[in-house]
Amino acid sequence: MTCLGGRNTVKFRMLLSLVLLAGVWLCPVTTGFAAPNVPESTQATTPPPKRFNFADVRRRAEMLATQPFQAQDNTLPDFLKHLDYDQYRDIRFRAEKSLWRDEALPFEIQFAPLGFLFFQRVVINVVDEGESRPLEYSNDLFDYGKNKVPAELPKDLGFAGFKVLYPLHTDSHYDEVAVFLGASYFRAVGQNQNYGLSARGLAIDTGLSKPEEFPYFREFWLEKPNKDTTELTVYAVMDSQSLTGAYRFVIKPGISTQIDVKANLFIREGAQKLGVAPLTSMFYHGALNERFFDDFRPQVHDSDGLLMATGNGEWIWRPINNPTRLRISAFQDNNPRGFGLLQRNRDFDDYQDLEAHYHTRPSIWVEPEGQWGQGSVQLIEIPSAAERYDNIAVFWNPTKPVEAGQQLEFDYRLYFFMDLPNLLPGGHTLSSRMGAGGTGDLDSSRRRFVIDFGGEALARLPQDAPVKPVISASSGQIQNAVVEKNEYTKGWRLSFEFLPQGDNSAELRCFLKLGDDVLTETWSYQWTAPK
């Protein structure tokens, strides 16, 4: 799996194909019958028109799943097809033509052009008072900047996606709060956040030896808001070789922007590996490096760890890394309470990047609704040579096989946030570090791990509290474990040495306890021998 992107813009992925879907809804008309003693010429009555809703999108996806998958003709004019990154960025939507701007509604929509890596045309509809109508494309919507544009542009180029704007900070200024662009990717931000990691509609066969399949949103419906609303509803039909999907997104901008997601999936051919509520992020280097990075910045990443709340109430923190080889971790669970990729480190000094602002990149938390059953949260870490690549993926993988003819439903809420107090369960990991072990002369064959835990309860414990570590390793040995109060963080530090068993990988786990009381989340890490 590969992904291209930039430091301060949308992370681009190589897209598959897109098929335009045209459709018409017919409003039924019922003829009235003459009542007794009333002339037969009484005029027939017409019921109110049928209002567009999620059921229409669901029927569309279900019907599409009964038909063979057809790849879209992604032919574009050469001047769009061969745009580089900077040339594509120079094409800008004319803000004065934003959808709903003239009506002073709380939301505005701007549209993204085709070109560069975005070859898939998406159909965009507007739902106004229950009636759906397609949005017309016009070349006049865009300013092409310094690009050399042909004298006669095709009049039916179409859109690649759209952006959602909302007065997030002040009533007088509309901020970009969400974007849907590329395959099934979308991103959002809350107050004082900068775009970072992405969410996706679905992942298929991610992390397998065969090529990953990229489902894509082929059609959207934007529900026109009223003047007092604080949320925007977006519907979408998703398509791919293996399945189709009907989606509803309810976007609620705020300090922590929320997106409620309803996904109905219709399996066309089956899939070997289904990834539900997938997240995609970038980790170049950080505090737990396994190799050297010649970079003046101490850390470079959109996310620094996976947090998971299991169905039985355990909290697990897994620091992520840029490994030397592909690394896949699966956390088995039943009805998970939540999982997400977090950027816990918010200190600018640990990034020193005045352009990328990694310290204000949002975290994303996935909160399932209903019972998701047996499965696993899977974390995929891919070796990366640059920060422009998204090399981290997380998703829920159901245990049950996905077979043709099945219908699956998943409802969940996404939080895009800087900090959520309820995601700091008691004692939590503040930092993780690793280096050579040994006492005196350093011995690189022994690995020393140092984990700082913090939290209000830990801060209240006296220095002589009998806090004990619980440490395990799936292979190798744990030695020289030490727990001590860290007066600088007001928390507690655990350090231990790990002696690898040859080149065998090892799952490391640890937490702190006081008597029978568990004080911290479970710190988890997969160690692999360097190449």
pLDDT at 37: 42
SS3 content of the chain, % helix, strand, coil (to 5): 10, 40, 50
| CA-based nearest residue to 340, from 312, 362, 360 | 362
Strand order in the sheet with 491-499: 428-437, 443-454, 491-499, 477-486
| Cβ atoms < 10 Å from Cβ of 277 | 26
d(CA 418, CA 193): 7
Sequence ranges of the chain with CATH classification 2.60.40.10: 428-527
Sequence ranges of the chain with CATH classification 2.70.98.10: 54-423
Do residues 508 and 472 make contact, with C-beta atoms less than 8 angstroms apart? yes
Do residues 378 and 392 make contact, with C-beta atoms less than 8 angstroms apart? no
54-423 carries CATH number 3.40.50.170: no
pLDDT at 44: 53
pLDDT at 75: 82
pLDDT at 155: 87
Three-state secondary structure of 158-213: CEEEEEEEECCCCCCCCEEEEEEECCCEEEECCCCCCCCCEEECCEECCCCCCCCE
pLDDT at 423: 84
pLDDT at 46: 62
What the block records as the tokens of 110 is: 């701007």
pLDDT at 24: 26
Residues linked to residue 291 through DSSP beta bridges, in sequence order: none
Q: Which residues contact 413 (CB under 8 A, 6 or more apart)?
A: 258, 259, 260, 261, 366, 367, 369
Domain 428-527, what architecture? Sandwich (2.60)
pLDDT at 422: 82
Q: Which secondary-structure segment (H or E) carries 231?
A: none
pLDDT at 90: 95
Do residues 21 and 237 make contact, with C-beta atoms less than 8 angstroms apart? yes
pLDDT at 531: 73
Distance of CA 248 to the CA centre of its chain: 15
Residue by residue, pLDDT tens for the chain (531 residues) are: 333 334 443 333 333 332 222 232 223 333 333 333 434 444 556 666 679 999 999 999 999 999 999 988 778 888 898 899 999 999 999 999 999 999 999 999 999 999 998 999 999 999 999 999 999 999 999 999 999 888 888 888 999 999 999 999 999 999 999 999 999 999 999 999 999 999 999 999 999 999 999 999 999 999 999 999 999 999 999 999 999 999 999 999 999 999 999 999 999 998 999 999 999 999 999 999 888 899 999 999 999 999 999 999 999 999 999 999 999 999 999 999 999 999 999 999 999 999 999 999 999 999 999 999 999 999 999 999 999 999 999 999 999 999 999 999 999 999 999 998 888 768 999 999 999 998 878 998 899 999 999 999 999 999 999 999 999 999 999 999 999 999 999 999 999 999 999 888 999 999 999 999 999 999 999 998 887
d(CA 488, CA 494): 14
- In the three-class reduction of DSSP (H, G, I as helix; E, B as strand; rest coil), residue 438 is classed as coil
Q: What is the pLDDT of residues 469-525, one digit of tens each?
A: 999 999 999 999 999 999 999 999 999 999 999 888 999 999 999 999 999 999 999
Do residues 518 and 316 make contact, with C-beta atoms less than 8 angstroms apart? no
Is the entire prediction scored with pTM above 0.95? no
Class of residue 77 by CB neighbours under 10 A (exposed 0-12, middle 13-18, buried 19+): middle
